[in-house]
């Protein structure tokens, strides 16, 4: 029976001590501790959020970097292409001009050659005519020294005429 009868002294001390401890712990232990835990979890949450944000920004940055890089690559390709076409054009232009110039020179050369040729031909013709006359003169002078020869000649000539 004694075991289940609350003792007044124990009740008194327990009430006093427990309420005091409840007060002290509430004020100096539970509130600061719970607040600190709350603050810490808030800080951790914030840190996680800002890390997430930083990651996102990083990703964005990376994406824009890639975009810039891609643009730069396109630009480079364009520049290269332009340069190549410019080069081709310069070369073809140069070729054309060179061809035309060469053609002009050739034509001029042809004209000159032709003129020279004509001049040469007419000179040769004169020379040939002169030489022929001299030869003919000499031949005639030799062959016509006797009558027979003269007659042969005439015959021959006559024959030729007949043939014609």
The residue ranges that bind another protein (CB under 8 A) are 2-15, 17-18, 21-22, 24-26, 28-34, 36-37, 39-40, 43
Instruction: Tell me the C-alpha distance between 60 and 68, whole Å.
Output: 12
Which of 29/69 has CB closer to another protein?
29
Nearest CA to 155 out of 147, 102, 113 is that of: 147
Q: How far is the CB of 38 from another protein (least distance, A)?
A: 10
Which of 34/98 has CB closer to another protein?
34
Q: How far is the CB of 50 from another protein (least distance, A)?
A: 14
Instruction: Tell me the C-alpha distance between 128 and 120, whole Å.
Output: 12
Which of 17/105 has CB closer to another protein?
17
Instruction: Tell me the C-alpha distance between 138 and 133, whole Å.
Output: 8
Q: How far is the CB of 13 from another protein (least distance, A)?
A: 5
- Strand stretches in 29-161, DSSP E: none
CB-based contacts of 143, cutoff 8 Å, min separation 6: 149, 150, 153
Which of 19/70 has CB closer to another protein?
19
Q: How far is the CB of 51 from another protein (least distance, A)?
A: 15
CB 22 within 8 A of CB 30: no
């Amino acid at each position: 029976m004694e075991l289940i009868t609350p003792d007044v002294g124990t009740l008194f001390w327990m009430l006093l001590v427990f309420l005091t401890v409840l007060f002290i712990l509430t004020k100096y232990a539970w509130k600061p501790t719970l607040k600190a835990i709350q603050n810490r979890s808030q800080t951790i949450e914030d840190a996680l959020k800002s890390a997430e944000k930083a990651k996102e920004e990083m990703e964005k940055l990376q994406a824009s970097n890639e975009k810039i890089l891609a643009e730069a690559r396109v630009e480079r390709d364009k520049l290269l292409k332009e340069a190549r076409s410019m080069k081709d054009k310069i070369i073809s232009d140069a070729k054309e001009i060179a061809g035309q110039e060469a053609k002009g020179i050739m034509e001029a050369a042809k004209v000159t050659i032709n003129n020279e040729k004509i001049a040469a031909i007419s000179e040769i013709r004169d020379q040939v005519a002169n030489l022929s006359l001299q030869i003919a003169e000499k031949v005639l002078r030799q062959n016509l020294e006797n009558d027979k020869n003269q007659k042969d000649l005439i015959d021959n000539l006559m024959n030729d005429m007949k043939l014609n």
